Structure 1
Amino acid sequence: MPAAPVADLRRSIDDSLEPLLDGLVGDERNVVLTLARMVVTLETGAIVSKDVPPER
């Protein structure tokens, strides 16, 4: 599968941010972990899965 254009990836993350934060209360752990994966994606371009540890 070809890589998604960076602008599309950033827009997708931006569009997901408000609904994610709206669900913060009561699901803090998952929201923080999702935010961390978003930051990794924005910084590196890598899509980080929940169930696969990062490579070192």
Structure 2
Amino acid sequence: MAAFCGTPDSTESSYPSEFLSWDGIHFTDAANRFIAQALLRRLYNASAMAEPQTALL
């Protein structure tokens, strides 16, 4: 059962790093960290694989 933020049944998790969303809408720090790492990994890999640009004369 889910309890959304602000409802009487909602409680704070003792293990927030194990969840991606704390209320079904908002991401936890763990989710934000995962998303940021995935984006940075993708950007780093894309730039490392890019072909060198040639100068136009």
- The TM-score normalised by the length of structure 1 is 0.33
Q: Of the two, which has the highest radius of gyration?
A: 2
- The TM-score normalised by the length of structure 2 is 0.33
Higher relative contact order, structure no. (Cα contacts within 8 Å, ≥ 6 residues apart): 1
Compare the two structures and name the one with the higher helix fraction. 1
